[in-house]
Amino acid sequence: MRYLLRRALHAVFLLFGASLLTFLFSALTPGNYFDEMRLNPQISPETVAALHAQYQLDRPLPVRYAHWLNAVAHGELGFSFAYNSPVAPLLWVRARNTLLLTVTATLLAWFIALPLGVWSAARFGRAPDRVLSWTTATLLVVPDLVLALGLLILAVRTGWFPTGGLVSVGFDELSPFHKLRDLASHMTLPVAALVLATLPMLVRHVRASVAEVLDAPYLRAARSHGIPRRKLLYGYALRAAANPLISLFGFSVGALLSGSLLVEVVMSWPGLGPLLLESILARDLYVVIGGVLLSMIFLVAGNLFADVLLYWADPRIRTVASPK
Amino acid sequence: MQPLLKVENLVKLYAARRSARSKDKLAALDGVSLSIPSGETLALVGESGSGKSTLALCIACLETPTSGSLSFEGLDVATLDENQLRLIRPQIQLVFQDPVSSLNSRWTALDIVSEPFLVQRRFTKPDRAVRALQLLDRVAIPRRLAGRRPDELSGGQKQRLAIARALALEPKLIILDEALSALDCSVQAQISNLLLELQSSLGLTYLFITHDFAMAAHLADQIAVMDRGRIVESGPAEKVLSAPRHEATRSLLAATARFVGSPSVLVTA
Amino acid sequence: MSQRRKLTKWLVVLVFLHCIVAGAGFFAPYDPVEQDRERPYLPPMRVHLMDAQNHLHLRPFFYSLRLRTGSFDQYEEDTATIVPLKFFEHGVVYHLLGFAPAHLHLFGASGARIYLLGSDAYGRDQLSRILYGGQVSLLAGLLGAGITLFLGALVGMAAGYYGGWRDELLMRVAELFLALPWLYLLFALRAFLPLAVSPLEAFLLVVVVIGMVGWARPARLVRGVVLSVKERDFVRAARGFGASDIYLLRRHILPETASVLLTQAAILVPQFVLAEMTLSFLGLGVPEPMSSWGSLLASLQQYSVLVSYWWMYLPALAIVPFFLGYLGLASALQHRTSLYKIEEQGGWNLS
């Protein structure tokens, strides 16, 4: 239990540090970007002055950081200059869209990778395994940008899938079933891109971990006891090989918000990625900080989640963590 | 006539993991005192964990003792700074137990033996090679092996190489930390004879650390027995071997007995 | 040793690929910035041996393209005009490796424009642009990886060798950097620096930014090596001769880190090339007219291009053989250590 508390504390520390880093990055950028705002005729000088005062840009850095931390603790993530609205609601909507994509893709990828990897490991070195290895190697070699663009072109030329957006025009008038179908058809391409990008690595990991375990004497003993093959593979081998896979799963969870940036931009999916890109280009400071903070929370939480899972799943960690 | 090396009440504490409180510290050396006259061999015998290697590192000035004094030729070395130490270091050299760890496997034998010259910036490059080859001759390593890497040499040759390297700076004291323990019996005999021969021709002083009394008997003039960071018995070799007083000595003797009959037979081996 | 042969095989492949890009001037028929406004968005030209009258030509040739009547972007072959393909032609002057002027090209068409991979909106030859663009992207990746490995090695050695509070501090900072989503970090860093700069400045900026983002993982790995080497007796022995810290680091410890650094290089270079491509694709990288693979793909963000001009996708495929080569190299370098090492790097995933 103390082990978990230590890991949690560690995570909190990471968050603080990373938030400080992000804050520093943005605060130390050359050029006071309020100058750009002042040049913008659409924003009145009074607004500029008010915002300037509100964000206390004349105060020293530690004060600004503390002030910002305080605001964040109250759920107030700042103000977006480009969208002319508070940052938090903006982020939630986009984050929700991103999660829709990434959760689906991650679940699908793991759902396919586990049996595929186990199946491949069970036939290690033989023809089906080698074919799979070649396929994954080939997919691995194609970076996600290339994959996403390729899929997009495919979609455009065949016309089978919509090429952008969350839903079609006139979505609200559709029946629930049609709404679902519309959403699903829009999701297909980005999810496919994400799955194709992450699947090869996952399959290789599963295959590698399980193959290593299958060689172990205790598994051969279990087989000689007559335990059926499927139970052997999933009940014994997979559980023994679970450790690195659990860590990997933690990473998958951690990347839920940040891993799909490119795919979202390429496929025009209205998620966190395109928002962040726009804000970066528009120098919309607080949106960027808020977005990065949100992704970081996920990353750190993902690692912590992996730690918790490992702790629960592997009795060895429990004994090591609490020496007597 | 002052001894070459004089250790007085040497204490070395290590902080136990995750605790800086003094009562949690591990005392690797708990008040060790010994002295070695010039030209003699002192064998330091003890079980693993008794602190022998820590003592060796302290004497070689590779670890700083927590308290106590360490004098080499009358000079207190524990208080010297690194620049001053650099002048003393050539006089005290180490030979380690495991040649795989003590020889850089990427270097050739010649490079290994000439490294001390390189570090101390002595001699020109061609000169270093000449002297290195001479050192190889001294320890009976054929010159044709000079370009080989350690993993191409046998265990005995590797240790000879380590000894040659230790001789490079013409030291007065050589500390051999279990230097023969990893070798086969016959090789051990060869190398201990080489050590004896080098001692008599070069006037070396040895601190010979081992857990094996038989080896100590073969090489030592004096024997000191170490147990849990303390010297529990010391004296001339024959006396310690024939009339051990401390329990640790007795159990170590029993463990390394390689003879049948009374201990007196061992002394004449 | 078959592993050594595999290593050599991948090295040869990589060197070959890099040579083609380095010699872009020779392999490319035209200057990448040379425009031909009369021929925008030309599809790739087809090579023929048999002409419309079913005569076999010994020299391969192309037909020049003309606009189909009634269309503004559909082309058809003009079977009356034959453009022969000539090898080792003298063409526009280029500078080999940046300084030696030359004008021998692998192939050309004595002045006429042939587009093996099509043309872009300004009539520029895509093949030439891809070859020259590769120089920018690959160089960015190599330099960026160099900076990262240098920083990582420095930090790793300092942390591992000196230990104590320095080690704690450096490793905590490294953890921080590892916790940040590095694609975001990349973008943010790049964007918060001045956007409108000259191409050369932009390139350097991209390289520096990429280099500064990824140092944490190599630093951790180097630190691990240093920690274990530090305890080796040959280091102790050298200290026993009076060796200084710098000597030990330089002569004994650094060579041991070489294999880790090389493997990291094989993994990082393609990741960084991809990072540069991504930045340029999104407009944060190298601006016109200096083309990089990423900026060549930027036009695909327009729907019209996506629909009608499929050959604009080809620059994306240019990186694939390089990825293959580097992945193969990294695997070959990894064979000695555990199966997991390269897998642990998370492959090419940029998140």
- Number of other CB atoms surrounding residue A2 within 10 Å: 8
Q: Which residues of A touch C193 (CB under 8 A)?
A: 29-30
pLDDT of B233 strictly over 80: yes
Residue C28's Cβ-side half-sphere holds a number of Cα atoms within 13 Å equal to: 29
Asked if B169's CB is within 8 angstroms of C236's CB, the reply is: no
- Using alpha carbons, select from A41, A263, A51, A250 the residue that is nearest to residue A146: A263
- Number of other CB atoms surrounding residue B39 within 10 Å: 15
What's the complex ipTM? 0.85
Give the per-residue pLDDT at C147. 93
Residue C248 DSSP code: I
Residues in C 254-313 with any Cβ partner in B closer than 8 A: 255
Q: Strands B26-36 and B5-14: what pairing?
A: antiparallel
Q: E strands within chain A?
A: 79-80, 85-86
Q: What sign results for the dihedral spanned by CA atoms A220, A222, A224, A227?
A: negative
Q: Is A111 exposed, middle or buried (0-12, 13-18, 19+ CB in 10 A)?
A: exposed
Cis-peptide, bond into residue A30, ω within 30° of zero: no
- For B117, the closest chain C residue by CA position comes to C241
Q: Are C177 and C242 in contact (CB under 8 A)?
A: no
Q: Which residues of C touch B119 (CB under 8 A)?
A: 238, 241-243, 247
Strand (E) or helix (H) holding B179: none
Span A252-264, average pLDDT: 85
For residue B209, what pLDDT band results from cuts at 50, 70 and 90? very high
Asked if C180's CB is within 8 angstroms of A22's CB, the reply is: yes
Measured in angstroms, the CA of C301 and the nearest CA of chain A are apart by: 7
For residue B20, what pLDDT band results from cuts at 50, 70 and 90? low
B108-149 residue pLDDT tens: 999 999 999 999 888 888 999 999 999 999 898 999 998 999
Best of A141, A158, A163, A303 to substitute, by most chain C Cβ atoms within 10 angstroms, is A141
Contacts for B125 with CB less than 8 Å, ≥ 6 apart: none
CATH class of C130-345: mainly alpha
C295-334 residue pLDDT tens: 888 888 888 888 888 888 888 898 999 999 998 888 888 7
Residue B24 DSSP code: G
- Chains A and B touch, using 3 or more CB pairs below 8 Å: no
pLDDT higher at A272 or C337: A272
Hey, what amino acid is at A252? S
Rg for chain B, CA atoms, rounded: 19
- Using alpha carbons, select from A293, A198, A295 the residue that is nearest to residue A255: A295
Angstrom distance (rounded) from CA A280 to CA C237:
54
Among C282, C323, C340, select the one facing A208 at the smallest CB separation: C340
Q: Which residues of A touch C300 (CB under 8 A)?
A: 149, 152-153
A140-179 residue pLDDT tens: 888 888 888 888 888 888 877 777 777 777 777 778 888 8
Cis-peptide, bond into residue C218, ω within 30° of zero: no
Q: Are B241 and B269 in contact (CB under 8 A)?
A: no
Torsion, CA A192, CA A194, CA A196, CA A197, rounded to 10: 160
Q: Strands C86-96 and C75-84: what pairing?
A: unpaired
Measured in angstroms, the CA of A226 and the nearest CA of chain C are apart by: 30
Q: Are B183 and B193 in contact (CB under 8 A)?
A: no
Which residue(s) pair with C75 in the sheet?
A: C67
Best of B119, B135, B161, B174 to substitute, by most chain C Cβ atoms within 10 angstroms, is B119
User: Which tokens is B219 given?
Assistant: 């090489």
Which residue(s) pair with B36 in the sheet?
A: B5
Give the per-residue pLDDT at B18. 54
Residue B90 DSSP code: G
C2-38 residue pLDDT tens: 777 888 888 999 999 999 998 888 888 888 888 888 8
Angstrom distance (rounded) from CA C211 to CA C276:
11
Q: Are A59 and A34 in contact (CB under 8 A)?
A: no
Measured in angstroms, the CA of A208 and the nearest CA of chain C are apart by: 7
Q: Are B42 and B221 in contact (CB under 8 A)?
A: yes
Rg for chain A, CA atoms, rounded: 24
Structure pTM? 0.82
- How close are the terminal C-alpha atoms of chain A, in Å? 14
For tokens 């969208």, name the residue: A83
- Using alpha carbons, select from C272, C263, C315 the residue that is nearest to residue C183: C272
Q: Which residues of B touch C239 (CB under 8 A)?
A: 62
- Chains A and C touch, using 3 or more CB pairs below 8 Å: yes
Angstrom distance (rounded) from CA C78 to CA C71:
15
Domain definitions of chain C by residue range? 45-115, 130-345
For tokens 């990089």, name the residue: C292
Q: Which chains reach chain B with 3 or more Cβ–Cβ distances below 8 angstroms?
A: C
Q: Are C221 and C260 in contact (CB under 8 A)?
A: yes
For residue A320, what pLDDT band results from cuts at 50, 70 and 90? low
Asked if C232's CB is within 8 angstroms of B93's CB, the reply is: no
Among B106, B116, B162, select the one facing C241 at the smallest CB separation: B116
Among A14, A150, A277, select the one facing C179 at the smallest CB separation: A14
B36-54 residue pLDDT tens: 888 889 999 888 878 888 8
Best of A146, A248, A253, A288 to substitute, by most chain C Cβ atoms within 10 angstroms, is A146
Give the per-residue pLDDT at B269. 36
pLDDT higher at B103 or C99: B103
